[in-house]
Every structure is written in structure tokens, then in C-alpha cells.
């Protein structure tokens, strides 16, 4: 499921809600994925425009950002 949300954010340039661990602290926020590797991914946050690299193993949860139901332009045109 993690791969699905990461790919969704990268392919459609959409924000997703993420909860992760960093230095034994739990962090959360809306992120936009900019790169996906085998065991890591890079993202930017709304306030911080610099790219951050994070190991996939640090992810606790991912989901759609507020107001996003996961629809893409392709899904809307198919109806």
C-alpha cells in the first residue's frame, strides 16, 4: 500500500498525508513525492521546499491529503 500512495503522489504531482519516524520521533505532514528508489523516496513539504530523503522502512502510514479522494483526470474522463 505504501508503494501505491508514493506512486500516486509522484505520477499525479499530488500531496499525500504521511506519518513517519525520524530520530526516534514521530513526524507527520502533507508531502509531495519527487523520486522513488528501491528502499527510499524523496519528497518536499508544503512549508519546506527543499527535498528530503527518507527510507521506506520509516513510514508508519500514508493516505490521501484532506480534500483529495484519489480521483485523477483519467478516472473522471472514464465516467
pLDDT per position as a tens digit, 1-34:
889 999 999 999 999 999 999 999 999 999 999 9
pTM: 0.81
> What is residue 79's predicted lDDT score, i.e. its pLDDT?
47
Smallest CA-to-CA distance from 32 within 56, 51, 4 is with 51
Burial degree of 31 (CB within 10 A; 0-12, 13-18, 19+): buried
For strand 59-64 and strand 16-22, is the pairing parallel, antiparallel, or unpaired? antiparallel
Second-level CATH architecture of 2-78 = Roll (2.30)
Contacts of 7 (CB under 8 A, 6+ apart): 36
Domain ranges of the chain: 2-78
Amino acid at each position: 500500500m505504501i508503494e501505491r500512495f508514493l506512486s500516486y503522489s509522484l505520477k499525479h504531482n499530488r500531496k499525500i498525508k504521511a506519518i513517519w519516524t525520524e530520530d526516534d520521533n514521530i513526524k507527520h505532514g502533507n508531502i509531495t513525492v519527487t523520486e522513488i528508489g528501491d528502499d527510499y523516496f524523496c519528497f518536499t513539504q508544503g512549508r519546506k521546499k527543499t527535498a528530503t530523503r527518507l527510507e521506506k522502512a520509516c513510514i508508519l502510514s500514508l493516505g490521501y491529503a484532506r480534500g483529495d479522494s484519489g480521483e485523477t483526470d483519467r478516472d473522471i474522463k472514464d465516467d
